[in-house]
Amino acid sequence: MPAKNKFSEVENQSDQTQDSEKGFFLSEEMCRKLAESQKQYRREQRRQRRLEFSWVSWFFDEFPSDDMFRPALRERRNTRQEMMYHRFRQMISWSFWSRMKSSTGVKLVAIGGLVAAFLQAAPDLKGVEAAVLPLSWLLLGGVFYLLAVICFEIRCPVLLKRTLASNEDYLGIEGRRWLLALVEDELRRWWSIKSYDMEIGAYSPESNKYQTAEAITQYGDIPVYDGFDDYASTRIEYALNEYSNLASVAMWRAEFEPNQYEKFSPVRVISPTNAPLRSFHLSRLNSFDAKLSKEGKEGDLVLRWFDSSLMFLSKVEGPHNLTVSANAEGLLYLFQNDSSALIFTRIIAQWQNTMRPWSRLLLICLFIASGGCFAWFVLLQMKILIPILM
């Protein structure tokens, strides 16, 4: 009897495995989606490798260097490559090439150009050994230098240029308002719009978000979120954390329950596909809230994040019509005095150090052309002077 029972159990298990093998199959639609997901995964892997190891990607990456959203450790740059990356990024930044621009250099170029033009126009003053060609290269080098200075003044981001040239001791109300407007304009660059994926949302058709998105599509529009994405939210939190450390200001994160706060520390956020984008609100603790919470003291900063709701794409404000102060409330608390305003402005200004790669490329080429013309002028002059001295 036990042998028969074991034999029947083995037969039942074999029948179940055969039924399961017959019941599982891949349809054409599933195969197509699987192939698309594999292509998307390989495409993302190639993009990450380019960002990690390609010098061209290092140059044309407009956003600051990131240590938060990096690939796996085995796919990252090694120590030598990491040093080369940061050195290269510093050498192609706006702040590095701003050192080449000075009022003294502009004056010398202007005087040298006038002298060269005067000697070109007066043949009798040249002397026997003077040559027209070296002075032409000097004049051409001065023209390239002036063009580079003009390019820097026009194309360098305003907030960064304002920070690099900042040497005043007193800003005043108007100066702080001007810096606040520049910071809000930089945050506008980080504002994004994300569409709602209906295929993924269909897996939970009873959710309110899917029903809202379905209603929007029935009106012939596209359901979208607008706000700061994961990368921008993490970057903002790290900037606020750095500000709180430099300004010696205590900062808290608001919990879901009223008058409940936790010590603020930046958090790396990775949200699912259909997660909403976010906006933030900064406030200060008053004496009443400080007594109720028993966590902070009056004057401490409090950060709150709010999820955005699904919107019609046609109703969402574009980057040119966006009002950042309505979605990043409370930044005014960071600009109540000069020292606080300058600290936060310098932190945000570093985000612009690698903006506008084509303008930076033009600036670098103009400075190199100016230096090359001046070096060639010196070489030609040496060819004239060395035989005389010999």
The 10s digit of each residue's pLDDT in 260-316 is 788 888 888 788 888 889 999 998 887 777 777 777 777 888 898 888 888 888 888
Q: Per-residue pLDDT tens for 185-205?
A: 999 998 988 888 887 777 777
Per-residue pLDDT at 128 = 40
Per-residue pLDDT at 390 = 64
Q: Report how far residue 157's alpha carbon sits from residue 161's, in angstroms, rounded to the nearest whole number.
A: 6
Contacts of 237 (CB under 8 A, 6+ apart): 266, 267, 303
Q: Per-residue pLDDT tens for 250-267?
A: 888 887 677 778 888 888
Residues of the chain above pLDDT 70, percent? 80
CB-count burial class (<10 Å; 0-12, 13-18, 19+) for 331: middle
Nearest alpha-carbon partner for 233 in 189, 280, 168: 280
